[in-house]
Structure 1
Amino acid sequence: MMRDFWSIRADPLGFLCAARERYGDVVAFPVPGPPALLISDPVDVRRVLQTAARTWSKDTIQYRALARVTGPGLLASAEPDWIEHRRLAAPAFHHQRLDNLGLHVAEATDRMLATEVPLMRGPQIVDVADLSLRIALNVVGDAILSADLSEQAHRLLEASSAAARLVVRRGQSVLPERVPSALNRRLSSTRRRLDVLCLQLIETRRAAGSHGDDLLGLLIEGGLSDQAIRDELVTMVIAGHETAAAALAWTLMLLAEDQGAQDRVRNEVTRHAGPIPMTGTPAVLPWTRAVIDESLRLYPPAWVISRKSRQPDVIGGLDVPAGTVAIISPWVLHRRPDAWPSAERFHPQRFLDDPAPRSNYLPFGAGPRLCIGRDFALGEMTIVLSRILTRYRVEVPRHWSRPSPQADVAVRPSGGMPLQLTLLEAPQQ
């Protein structure tokens, strides 16, 4: 572990893949304290995330670091009351409400395309990673704070995004949190700023009398304390835009490399009559959804999941004590050659040939802690892709080389994702 310390920091994705390839489906890392296991067998993964989920909690370093910004929100909470918080937030993600948000997603995408992409007839190079981040930030703002898209709300969105990056940097630091380093001071300052912005928005909404039917309004109606509402707001902003933005950027890259797959998406979307729904896309746009599923297989934004055992259990036929940390990497699982023939190849057809759920496919987690925003994210990606591809042809520039994946809050392209966009002769409206 000491020998590999710098390679773990520089390329954690490569390190995890190499560990699984060399040592198998249960890898014990020699670290002080209770065992830390990388588990890659689908049976063991299902046990930790589903069948024995009550035995395995989120009380891990990964989620404690995230909680420094989000507080004990749905994503990071290891406490039993997360179930009650999920129940209160669930109406915001009901299929009927999500479908009503479809037009908001399309409008937010069109606004960003109009302001961020110049209307040039010739090809232009656009960093689609940055474009996707801006689109996703606007979309999640509409969903969470649709009744109050003020400058104050935009400051909250931007501050949450900045805070997420500070958390990643903090996780890479060897200095204890109590040391008043520049990074620790910035993180504390950002946390205080988020507190002020959230509480101001909550007070404004309470004073308005009508709480609204966006996520903020539903949380207020549910009777949560202001602090609990603040935690859920920040959680949803960070989880709702970082992952979607990264997934969109990688999907556009894969389609730029495969013009046949891109044309098939464009044709399918163009033939569809009426607005594209946020839910039910596998039946409405099967090829487009298969493209998204395959992109999430190759580039799962949530690249690692961790759990800690509350009591002794059995993993891979081995007795493990309470306090054992299980590390599960969708990035590794999605590249198992025995489960995914030609695993490194972009091949959306595999999801049409075999649409059955797979135990080793978990871009949104699994079990009771399955991402509450899964359907929102899938619908958002479908609509954003449709708005982009019916206006532009996306291609790789000359002298193209793929950006390296960077394990950040989500798996993002290192250095951005510059692709060539060419305005179509008759963009679809």
Structure 2
Amino acid sequence: MNSKFNYPPEIRGKRKLYSLFKGLNHPLEVISGNHQSLGDNYHIKASFTNKNFIFSQDKEFVEYILKQNHKNYYKSEIQSITLRKYLGNGLLTNNGKDWLQQRRLIQPGFSKVKIANLVSIMEEEIDTSLELFKTESDIDLYHFFHALAFNIVAKTLFSSDVDENTVVQLSKIITEIQEVFTKEVRLPFYTSILNTFGVIDKNIEKSKTAKAIIQRILDKRRTSKEEKNDLLDMLIQTRYEDTQLPMSDEQLVDEMLILFIAGHETTANALSFIFFEISQNPKAEEKLKKEIENEGEMVFTSESLMKKSFTVNVIKEGMRLHSPAWAIDREALEDDRFKEYSWPKGTLVILYISGLHRNPKYWEHPDSFIPERFDDENAKNFAYYPFGAGPRLCIGEHFAIMEMALIIRKFYQKFTFISDQKEVKEKALVTLRPISLKGKIISILP
């Protein structure tokens, strides 16, 4: 190793081989184990690519990369190249000036004021979905939340229904793309095998199919010339500051595809984990229902949904224990250093958010579901970044929180959920997913 740089402790030997291969299907187990052995920061050199990776679950290190020195870090090739070939050139995959230009263009549509205007659209979709439940219903909430969150995104983006077949088709495409993408990232040498058998080309075709569906929706809106005051209208009407020109259709479709994925995938996953935790904590459920009752007629207003509350605490604590964005990757543009460590440009930095959120250095009883911890007046300084941090803080944070709060309150006003599971198995792809969440929904109203 070049003595010019002082990496964190390195994973070597059998543990390295174990990390590279076991990590393909069980990254949380492997990364958590490595941190337990070597501390909050460690280093591994990939044998096949000679790439250097630094993993961190250290709050100060995470803040240094995402905030203090963010200009020295781009989203890595994992997203900017590998994922881009499937999802296009939108906010999620873009870097530099192009990203900043798109961010400035789109961000106004996700302000608290704009999001508040979407409550009635969300309410209608949630009410329709909840009407399907009988006095007692067996269900897998994971699948239910995926369909619900997808329909909410469709309504808030397009103010129109997307039929069930399209929901299933797009969800299937997203899952299959993630499966292949995950293999490409975690076993880079495997890419040649995937290429040989045409798997990557097939995945790109699936992405084109998804984009074609969205393009048809865009064409229909333009033909109708209707103004619906939804997110699609906002995207169509926005203009770049320098040219006063609108986004191209290709850019619009890319942004909408990413909003579809980010807007339903992470929310559905988070809701599944949150409902599991509530089902295991009767006192939290009782307190939640009491708050819903006490809010009275204001319970579903944007003001009530967005203010500090036990409902929001439940969401935050659920996302602390099971953060859908379980890791954040960055690539160093120039040599850098933090405290005693230093590394060259090109180093990949993996900020292990799941580990940070359960790090006993920062959290008392880190594996316990305690929503009240977010009542702390210092909660803003917690080691807590489910939506990222710094300039690339997730643009949809307010949207997601309000949507989840509305769903939780609508559900627990009328129902309770009894889980068949005493633990929820997780699958870490691009996002952290539950395998399932099976149980019974029981009406609590006469």
TM-score, with length taken from structure 1? 0.91
Structure 1 match to 2:437: 417
Q: Deviations over 1:73-107 (max 9, x none)?
A: 11111242111212221232121221121122121
2:161 alignment partner, one of 149, 152, 157? 149
1:95 alignment partner, one of 112, 119, 143? 112
CA contact (8 A) 1:34 1:321 kept: no
CA–CA separation in structure 1 for the residues paired with 2:55 and 2:329: 9
Alignment partner of 1:373 is 2:396 = yes
Structure 2 match to 1:165: 175
CA–CA separation in structure 2 for the residues paired with 1:189 and 1:177: 18
- The farther-off stretch of 191-200 and 237-246 is 191-200
Q: CA RMSD in A?
A: 2.1
1:140 alignment partner, one of 146, 153, 156? 153
CA–CA separation in structure 2 for the residues paired with 1:46 and 1:294: 20
Structure 2 match to 1:341: 364
Alignment partner of 1:85 is 2:102 = yes
CA–CA separation in structure 2 for the residues paired with 1:160 and 1:412: 17
Percent of pairs with identical residues: 25
Give how far 1:172 is off. Answer: 1.4
Q: Secondary structure at the match of 2:76?
A: coil
TM-score, with length taken from structure 2? 0.87
Structure 2 match to 1:61: 78
Give how far 1:179 is off. Answer: 1.8
* Alignment of structure 1 residues 8-407 onto 2, 5 Å: 8-31=23-46, 32-115=49-132, 117=133, 119-120=134-135, 123-146=136-159, 148-149=160-161, 151=163, 157-170=167-180, 171-172=182-183, 174-176=190-192, 179-181=195-197, 183-222=199-238, 223-272=246-295, 273-278=297-302, 281=305, 283=307, 286-358=309-381, 360-397=383-420, 400-407=421-428
- The farther-off stretch of 354-363 and 123-132 is 354-363
Distance 1:127 1:37, change over 3 A: same
CA–CA separation in structure 2 for the residues paired with 1:282 and 1:202: 31
CA–CA separation in structure 1 for the residues paired with 2:226 and 2:261: 26
CA–CA separation in structure 2 for the residues paired with 1:351 and 1:299: 16
CA–CA separation in structure 2 for the residues paired with 1:253 and 1:150: 28
Distance 1:43 1:198, change over 3 A: same
Amino acid across the alignment from 1:84: Q
CA–CA separation in structure 2 for the residues paired with 1:311 and 1:89: 29
Give how far 1:190 is off. Answer: 0.9
CA–CA separation in structure 2 for the residues paired with 1:202 and 1:25: 47
Structure 2 match to 1:408: 429
Q: Secondary structure at the match of 1:307?
A: strand
Q: Deviations over 1:96-130 (max 9, x none)?
A: 22112112212111111223x3x13xx43311111
Give how far 1:365 is off. Answer: 0.4
Distance 1:60 1:91, change over 3 A: same
Ranges in structure 1 where 5+ consecutive residues have no aligned partner: none
Amino acid across the alignment from 1:131: F
Give how far 1:65 is off. Answer: 2.9
Aligned residue pairs, count: 415
CA–CA separation in structure 2 for the residues paired with 1:64 and 1:211: 35
Give how far 1:200 is off. Answer: 2.2
Q: Deviations over 1:265-310 (max 9, x none)?
A: 11111221235234664636x1111111100100001111100011
